[in-house]
Amino acid sequence: MSKRRVVVTGIGMVTPLGIGNDETWQNLLAGRSGVGLITRFDTTAYPAKIAAEVKDFHPEKWIEKKEIKKSDTFIHYAIAAAQMCIDDSGLKPDPAEAERFGVIIGAGIGGLPLIEETHKVVLERGPSRISPFFIPGLIANLAAGHVSIRFGAKGPNSATCTACATGAHAIGDAMKVIQREDADIMIAGGAESVISPLAVGGFSAMRALSTRNDEPERASRPWDKDRDGFVMGEGSGIVLLEEREHALARDARIYCELTGYGMSSDAYHISAPCADGEGSARVMRNALRDAGLKPEDIDYINAHGTSTPAGDLAETIAVKTMFGEHAHKIAMSSTKSMTGHLLGAAGGLEAAICARAVRDGVAPPTINYETPDPECDLDYVPNAAREMNIRHAMSNSFGFGGTNACLIFSRHE
């Protein structure tokens, strides 16, 4: 029995490079950085003072003013990106199809800033001053909940929470929901907003963040010999997935087809990647098998590429292990060099980027690639976007706890 085909018909992006798909995409292709000094709180005592913040986001454009204070910022980002996604797709949600329309949107951490703010309220003013919207305002599944309510989507409603693989797992899981005939339309992706004292302090304590504070725009530098850690980002990346015949019946514009989804676990360490990249190679193999593709079919990889010394090397080794000689023929870039690392939203955003890359035939660059690392010797699309024929693109996402996700997007035929 053949699998139902799943296509991407809409994307929505709220990123440090722009509010909206076109602004983000043009800044990616121009190689602009969204990284700067943190403005959300006083970073004097913090080793890392930089992040990729979303700028000029006005939630009232998407959310009623009286509702804004009832939820954390990651939910605002998800609502905005989901609305952009629906608008981009041209879909008019039909109540008659409500039970065939679902949502899976995850967050790696959720409403940590709201927790921090409310804890301060409790200490200063007592527990009676806790908002009744505190819990629904912070829990990770409420991004999906709000979006489901907004569009009357009465099908599957779920949330993933797999650290930095969250957004990719949400999209892959949504693909499988459609393939097993539990829905025809799915909104899927991730959202995150934790540029806050506790999160920055916590990642700093792990020595995971770049401390190139004097040159924020040059701090995220995947595979460069002088990389010193990742730069935290925030935002949301959402895609609209449809069963292919459903999309064709409404004459939808199709970006590409989602053909493969792989999952794996390193079963190795709570935060460090396995040095030989075995789990990462395995998740790519699983995605290729799901797509029915051969290794030599892959033209472009949007890599996990966080700019950490160990992670970038492990991913390079994994790609070589998986693809052999073909690894050197694949264009592989890290858009985290520009957006920073959106944590639970990273996989959603990078999936949307892959969809656009396949449709437009252009690979975004890896910026700040200045001093090659002899151990990282693949084609990282250095510093300038590249027009190219992309038949099949892969998006990698790896999370703490050794959880891995891989998606494959193919040109729609």
Per the residue annotation, which of 76, 85, 161, 164 is the catalytic one?
Answer: 164
Per the residue annotation, which of 76, 146, 246, 304 is the catalytic one?
Answer: 304
Active site residue 164: yes
Active site residue 341: yes
Task: Identify the residue whose tokens are 């199709």.
Answer: 254
H/E stretch holding 300 reads strand 300-302
Phi, psi of 204 (to 5 degrees): -65, -40
* Cα–Cα distance for residue pair 198/200, rounded to 1 Å: 6
Give per-residue burial for 206-244: e unless 16+ CB within 10 Å, then b: eebbbebeeebbbbbbbbbeebbbbbbbbbbbbbbbbbb
Per the residue annotation, which of 76, 146, 246, 341 is the catalytic one?
Answer: 341
CB neighbour class for 270 (10 Å; exposed up to 12, middle 13-18, buried from 19):
exposed
* Cα–Cα distance for residue pair 217/258, rounded to 1 Å: 33
Active site residue 256: no
For residues 406 and 318, is the Cβ–Cβ distance under 8 A?
Answer: no
Q: Which residues lie below 8 Å from residue 123, measured CB to CB, with a gap of 6+?
A: none
List the catalytic residues. Answer: 164, 304, 341
